[in-house]
Amino acid sequence: MTVADLLKKLGNVPPERVHLGPLPGTATEQDVLEAEGRTGRLCELVDGALVAKNVGYYGSFLTLKVSGTA
């Protein structure tokens, strides 16, 4: 598997959002909890890989629109 294959498998996320520790494919729910404390960013577990959540302006705006609060 190449890095390009991994990124495609994870939903074409930007590479800067994919954590390499623990190695992709080996992360657990506990790693998600520890990553937030270590990095200060929210992460999600996608096919055993830690992926930093996108919490930029557009994502926040879209969340508000979908929830009906904006």
pLDDT digits (tens, 9 = 90+) for 6-60: 999 999 999 999 999 999 999 999 999 999 888 888 999 999 999 998 877 776 7
Number of domains in the chain: 1
Q: Predicted confidence band at 69 (pLDDT cuts at 50, 70, 90)?
A: low
Nearest Cα neighbor of 35 from 47, 24, 22 is: 22
Domain range enclosing 9:
3-67
**Is the pLDDT reported for residue 67 higher than 70?**
yes
Please give the model's pTM, rounded to 2 decimal places. Answer: 0.72
Element (H, E) at 46: strand 43-46
CA 61 to mean position of chain CA atoms: 18
